[in-house]
Amino acid sequence: MAYLGRTTLVVDSYDRAISYYVDTLGFTLIEDTPMGDGKRWVVIAPEIGIGATLLIAQAVNDQQRSAIGNQTGGRVAFFLYTKDFDGDFHHFKEKGVQFIGEPRLEEYGKVIVFVDLYGNKWDFIEPKIGEPPA
């Protein structure tokens, strides 16, 4: 069976993105390898060994720069799961994370949308007990 192991997030700056995702959201920097000509292989993850990782890709042309913050045309782009919604929610608020609306209970769990440094929308979810992240 195949699984999604990594997805790309287009950003304006490697260092700015690393600072936000690691320092603000608490992700782990897994790899940051120079590849020449200013290009780097930068991989981050919310928790190592669980779920997909993100490849941070610095935009290099106008077409790529135009996709920053709008990689899915304004829809939620990413889904971040937690086992401690309230604790993580308050921690993120203290770090300045911008949330849209208020937390709500859905049939699949507790959820709220937040906007990252670039304007990408994320669902922040604590699944109901016994519900696997889908």
**Angstrom distance (rounded) from CA 81 to CA 78:** 10
Q: Does the model's pTM come out above 0.85?
A: yes
Q: What CATH fold (topology level) applies to the domain 1-68?
A: 2,3-Dihydroxybiphenyl 1,2-Dioxygenase; domain 1 (3.10.180)
Tell whether the model's pLDDT for residue 131 goes beyond 70: no
Topology match between the domains 1-68 and 72-134: yes
pLDDT digits (tens, 9 = 90+) for 38-89: 999 999 999 877 889 999 999 999 999 999 999 899 999 999 999 999 999 9
Name residue 58's beta-bridge partners: 11
pLDDT of residue 2: 83
The residue ranges of every structural domain in the chain are 1-68, 72-134
Smallest Cα–Cα separation from 59: which of 117, 11, 15? 11
Domain 72-134 CATH assignment equals 3.40.50.300: no
pLDDT of residue 129: 77
Confidence of residue 134 (pLDDT cuts 50, 70, 90): low
